[in-house]
Chains A and B, each alone.
Chain A
Amino acid sequence: MAQHRYWLLVLMAAWFLCPAPLSAADAKEIARTVCAACHGVDGNSADPAHPKLAGMDQEYLMRQLKAFADGKRRDEAMSGVIASLDPAVFSGLAAYYGPQKPKPGQVKDPQLAAKGRALYEDGNTDTGVPACAGCHQSDGKGNARFPRLAGQHQAYTLKQLADYKSGRRATDPLMTTVGKRLSAEEAKALAEYIAGL
């Protein structure tokens, strides 16, 4: 009799301690209530400081969520939010935002964008900046390995290039090199061109 009660206790404890599996519906709920404040319900953020996520590769989104979780990427807003999330929800969030339809960005300075285009397609052979198109593709849509850039907000692209340069974002040593080799003017031109892709 005493042994029976013991097993019942263990089962009850196990039931309480195991996290309930997070469903796609849970992820969607979190996306809409937590993430949407910055990234928009459809993944097209209104504030240019926050990235558009719509249309990004899901694996890439997963890698970035994990990078924030383990400190390889840091951001005033995002690092705090990530700490409050259960990592089990990451794949659901990536699956929610990845397939959303990306809205185009807006070029404000066509002359600057033209300079950016030359750099995006050809790189800078003097300083050893590779053509962005080599990895991110000419249309900026990326692939499973390299993220989509097309239509991204200028301010966000610029901040990422600066963060690579400073080491604040350490998710890719190759991009760290690119960030260091780009001049401030080149980074601006690229961000302008990418917004129009």
Chain B
Amino acid sequence: MLPRRLPLLLLATLGCSFALASPPPETWNAPYPEKTAALAAYGDGTRGASVFEICQGCHRAGALGRPDGTYPRLAGQHATVLIKQLTDVRSDRRSNPKMLPFADHQALSVQDIADIAVYLQSLPVPPTQGQGPGTDLVRGRQLYDRDCSICHGQRGQGKGDQFFPRVSGQHYLYLLREGRAFRDGQRRNVHPEMAAAISKYTDDELSAVSDHMSRLPVAGP
């Protein structure tokens, strides 16, 4: 009996280790009930404005975030992106211990999340975001056009239907911080192509590309 089973066991073990080593690409945004429910819910921006009161202590009035990069700008971000990130934080798919108590089930219902997302998406994005030093903009644009623009768009507008975030209007220091986190494998809910593209970036390259993104136009179609 044993010799017959052995190959099967070996195959199963191999299969498991293979699955662990390279997750299928769709797992970065695999559906789970809470995210699906929030995406399907009808978001009410007026209610969202009221729910957002508990967020603005950190993300500031108008969801403009902080130029020091500690809290990102949320204004004008795609609702789908906001829902994915919020539910990912709540379900420990993205680590954010500072934010977690303000985003967990005691603080926000699924409907609240849908409402906030619609509200934030509708907010104006003034060109007041923090920008980088401006010392390496040519390289920044080259890197962006080569590696980033295919998903995040020429103007950094992102793609809401594919959960690709808008990056224009975002604070340079936040982009830089998250860029490092992506590169160093600390953002677990990342698209595999994003992880691959950024994995070999040096600190200087991260700074240059973040600087370029922080200077992308925020107004206009």
Which A residues lie at the B interface, using CB under 8 A? 123, 125, 128, 130-135, 145-146, 173-174, 177
| B213 CB to nearest chain A CB (Å) | 22
From 75 to 90 in chain B, residues with beta carbon under 8 angstroms from any chain A beta carbon are: none
Q: Could you pull out 15 A-B pairs where Cβ atoms are within 8 angstroms?
A: A125-B58, A128-B58, A130-B58, A131-B57, A132-B57, A134-B53, A134-B54, A134-B58, A135-B54, A135-B57, A145-B50, A145-B53, A174-B101, A174-B106, A174-B107
**Contact of B107 with A173 in the complex, beta carbons under 8 Å:** yes
Complex contacts, B54 vs chain A, CB 8 Å:
134-135, 174
Is B4 part of the contact surface with A, judged by Cβ < 8 Å? no
Tell me the bound Cα distance from A174 to B57 in angstroms: 12
From 98 to 122 in chain B, residues with beta carbon under 8 angstroms from any chain A beta carbon are: 98-99, 101-102, 106-107
* Prevailing SS type, chain B contact patch: loop
* Interface Cβ pair total, 8 Å cutoff: 42
Query: A134 is contacted by which of B56, B68, B97, B106 (Cβ under 8 Å)?
Result: B56
* Prevailing SS type, chain A contact patch: loop
Which B residues lie at the A interface, using CB under 8 A? 50, 53-58, 60, 66, 68, 70-71, 97-99, 101-102, 106-107
| A52 CB to nearest chain B CB (Å) | 23
Tell me the bound Cα distance from A61 to B162 in angstroms: 46
**Contact of B102 with A123 in the complex, beta carbons under 8 Å:** no
| B108 CB to nearest chain A CB (Å) | 10
**Contact of B57 with A125 in the complex, beta carbons under 8 Å:** no
| A176 CB to nearest chain B CB (Å) | 8
Q: Given A123-B57, A134-B57, does the pair A177, B71 have CB atoms closer than 8 Å?
A: no
Instruction: With CB as the reference atom, state the residue of chain B lying closest to A131.
Output: B57
| B104 CB to nearest chain A CB (Å) | 8
Query: A174 is contacted by which of B56, B66, B70, B102 (Cβ under 8 Å)?
Result: B102
